[in-house]
Amino acid sequence: MVLVEKIKENIVLEVVNLLKIKFKLLALCSLILVLSGCFPEERVISSIDTKKIYTEVSNYNFMGEEAVLRFTDIPKRVLVTRPEILDVLAALDVGDRVVMASFPRNMVGQMPDYKKLFPKTELTINDLDKETAVMQRPDFIIGWRRSFRKGGLGSTEYWRDKGVPVYIEENSGPIPAMDPFPPGTVKSEIDFIYNMGKIFGKEKEAAVEIEKIKNALYQAKEMASYKEPKRVLSIAFMKDYIEVFGDKLLLGNIINILGSKNINYPYPFINGEQFLKTDPDVIFVIYTGGTREAEMAMKRLLKEPYAKMRAVKNNKIHLINYKYICAANVRTPVTIKTVYHGLYE
């Protein structure tokens, strides 16, 4: 019995000693936390959590998945890729907020005109890279989709993780026939202008540009309703193949809205033999650059074997500059009128 009591007494003493050691360790940990300024359960709160949301708009990431962009203020240090986006910002009179904009090499000749519209903006040639962009300390980036590829500005997620909203111009996105990015349409051109108006507090100016698009589309649809539908092929000549612009781009969307059929393929490129077999009523030829590229494209159609095609013989070939079918935004009314003319007049 005495032995049992002795064992109990030893166990109690051991428990007391362990509790003392644990208390000392907890006290030591608390002292370390106090001295280091760290406390458990502390949550880092981003500036977007602590500031009132000025506005928010819906856009996409590189893969075309929806992303919501939130702004706590009107952007003051904006980066822009491509002059087509500058056209919208000029119409909204917010050019003083653009710190840097990039131009493709084939549009260098237009830079002096844009410098007059954006005197405070640094204009550069070729795509912006991530390092150059970071140095500009942007609070907003607006770009074509391919600007956010690997080797360019970096992913949209990279910038959004840094607290910088990134907006992909909707109609700069899809590769014809084989891309998950949402189609380019008249509606998405309107959405882009509308969203830029919200972001920069220029809703009235945006509404004026949107009304121009709606009026042009209404008039063209009204006139087209009395016309016979056409079979249309929209192409661009490459060195060894022909690129087909299907319904996923603005041009195809307008053709369909105006009552005609834009011919599609399940792939973005065809050869000369496939082109001949299609034999459409109307051919839209897309070109980049200036008049020299347009003339070269026209000469290819006027030679054999394409000279015998129905559209060529009937003089239903129409040239459209690439800037009017990709990210056309404020130029969309001109695109609509050009397409109507090519289809029915």
217-236: per-residue pLDDT in tens? 999 999 999 999 999 999 99
Once rounded to an integer, what is the mean pLDDT over residues 205-215?
Answer: 98
Three-state DSSP class for residue 180:
coil
> Which is nearest to 202 in space by CA: 5, 345, 55, 27?
55
- Cα-Cα-Cα-Cα dihedral of 189, 297, 262, 143, to 10°? -20
* 127 HSE (CA, 13 A, CB side): 14
Residues in the chain: 345
Helix, strand, coil shares of the chain, percent, nearest 5, are 50, 15, 35
Q: What is the pLDDT of residue 176?
A: 60
Mean pLDDT over 285-300 rounds to: 86
Q: Which pLDDT value is given to residue 51?
A: 62
* Mean of pLDDT over the chain: 84
**Residue 177 confidence (pLDDT):** 52
98-103/122-125 β-pairing? parallel
**Can you list the positions of beta strands (E) in the chain?**
55-60, 66-71, 78-81, 98-103, 122-125, 140-143, 166-168, 231-237, 242-244, 261-262, 269-270, 282-287, 317-321
- Tokens, residue 48: 């977007």
The answer to whether 327 and 171 have CB atoms below 8 angstroms apart is yes
Q: Which of 310, 293, 277 is nearest to 107 (CA)?
A: 293
| Low-confidence winner among 15-24, 88-97, 123-132, 325-334 (lowest mean pLDDT) | 15-24
pLDDT number for residue 52: 79
Residues 283 and 343: beta-carbon distance below 8 Å = no
The winner for highest mean pLDDT among 42-51, 164-173, 290-299 is 164-173
pLDDT of residue 1: 42
The answer to whether the pTM exceeds 0.85 is: no
- Over residues 22-72, the pLDDT tens digits come to 444 444 344 333 333 332 332 233 334 446 778 999 999 888 899 999 999
Q: What is the mean pLDDT of residues 10-18?
A: 42
Q: What's the confidence (pLDDT) of residue 126?
A: 85
Confidence band for 178, pLDDT divided at 50, 70 and 90: low
Q: How confident is the model at residue 13 (pLDDT cuts 50, 70, 90)?
A: very low
| CA–CA dist 74, 154 (Å, integer) | 23
pLDDT in the model for residue 222: 97
Which pLDDT does position 8 carry in this prediction?
Answer: 40
Question: How far apart are alpha carbons 337 and 339 in whole angstroms?
Answer: 6
- Looking at residue 324, its pLDDT comes to 92
Tokens of 326: 């990709």
pLDDT band at residue 206, thresholds of 50, 70 and 90? very high
